[in-house]
Amino acid sequence: MVLIDGKKVAAEMKEEIAAKVKVLKESGSKTPHLAAVLVGHDGGSETYVAYKIKDCEAVGFKSSLIRYEDNVTENELLAKVQELNEDADIDGFIVQLPLPAHISEEKVIEAINPKKDVDGFHPENVGRMVISLPSFVSATPFGIVELLKRYKIETIGKNCVIVGRSNIVGRPLSILMSQKAINATVTVAHSRTKNLEELCRSADILVAAIGVPEFVKGNMVKDGAVVIDVGTTRVKSDQTKSGWKLKGDVLFDEVAPKCSYITPVPGGVGPMTRVSLLYNTLLAASGKIYK
């Protein structure tokens, strides 16, 4: 069994990005600039955005953080999105989700200029991805595909079962895995899927993106399968200083011995999600997607 080291791969990618930024700067081009809009004080969102800013610094990007209180109006937020769309110094920006209930996430995402949509959530980018045109691909699916590529995991003709059909993980990943560059045969499962255990057992590549800790048990995985665990649920723990622990969607101790490859939680998909946003920002700055 090979433990897929997302932390190591992400660190390598970060170095590659930093080297490209150095070349850009030395050639007199502008420094790539990522902006993040954060609404409210949700603990998870605060942490994610802090990481994004820190990651920018690590690779030599410029970053800006724009903060609003929970009571910001939809119109105020949309006006800021418009301002960022028009700001020539900003190459890409993200609006951290979730947003408070009185603001339509859909409206906000659709207001972002697709050329600056480094989260890859805008319908134009999703549509371009579906028909294999250059696009910003959302960070987690991009990171998973990059892990498979860098570990040289065979995907051609393999049965790939993805459990979870969210717009940010399961569904875009299913599209990428079925594309000609990857050539897997893909099944997307969800909470209404029948015979899920049997279906999972048929997978050569099993991706769990559910958000239910330790949902995938040993008897749901075939010998030699590749298992990608996307889940990250914070659960109480008396074994850590903080009193919390991150749990994946896979019961690791039971499943790992059966796998050819498996991602751990933490240290598997998570670091790849972080670095993928940097990758997209570099693409945006170099104008490589929308020429």
Stretch that binds ligand NAP, among 30-38, 66-74, 167-175, 219-227 (CB under 6 A): 167-175
Cβ neighbour number for residue 18 with a 10 Å cutoff: 15
Closest by CA to 92, choosing from 108, 112, 76, 72, is 112
Q: Using the rule CB under 6 A, is 165 a contact of ligand NAP?
A: yes
Q: Does 17 bind ligand NAP (CB under 6 A)?
A: no
- Does 62 participate in catalysis according to the annotation? no
Of 108, 178, 173, 111, which Cα lies nearest the Cα of 137? 173
3-state secondary structure of 36: strand
Interface with ligand NAP (CB under 6 A), residue from 230, 251, 275, 283: 230
Q: Are 189 and 162 in contact (CB under 8 A)?
A: yes
Q: Is 209 in the site for ligand NAP (CB under 6 A)?
A: yes
Site size toward ligand NAP, by CB under 6 A = 25
Is residue 42 among the annotated active site residues? no
Least CB distance to ligand NAP at residue 88 (A): 31
Q: Which is nearer to ligand NAP, 13 or 90 (CB)?
A: 13
How far apart are CB 276 and ligand NAP at their closest, in Å? 9
Residue whose tokens read 């049965």: 159
Q: Residue 84 or residue 207: which is nearer to ligand NAP going by CB?
A: 207
Give the active site residue among 14, 55, 80, 96: 96
- Cα separation, 204 vs 225, in Å, equals 5
User: Per CB under 6 A, which region of 12-20, 84-92, 177-185, 189-197 contacts ligand NAP?
Assistant: 189-197
SS3 64: strand
With CB under 6 A as the contact rule, which of the stretches 28-36, 58-66, 145-153, 166-174 interacts with ligand NAP? 166-174
Length of the chain counted residue by residue: 291
273 binds ligand NAP (CB under 6 A): yes
> How many C-beta atoms surround the C-beta of residue 107 within 10 A?
13
Q: What is the Cα–Cα distance from 269 to 98, expressed in whole angstroms? A: 20
Q: Which two tokens stand for residue 268?
A: 């598997």
Residue 240 and residue 259 in contact, taking contact as beta carbons nearer than 8 Å: no
Asked if 52 touches ligand NAP (CB under 6 A), the answer is: no
Tell me if 175 contacts ligand NAP by CB under 6 A.
no
Which residue among 5, 14, 52, 229 is the active-site one?
Answer: 52
Which candidate in 119, 204, 229, 249 is catalytic? 119
155, 196, 215 from 191: Cα distances, Å = 25, 9, 12
Minimum distance of ligand NAP from residue 83's CB (angstroms): 28
Q: Which helix (H) or strand (E) is 159 found in, with range? A: strand 159-163
- Residue 82 designated active-site: no
Interacting residues toward ligand NAP by CB under 6 A: 140, 163-166, 168-170, 189-193, 196, 209-212, 230-233, 269-270, 273
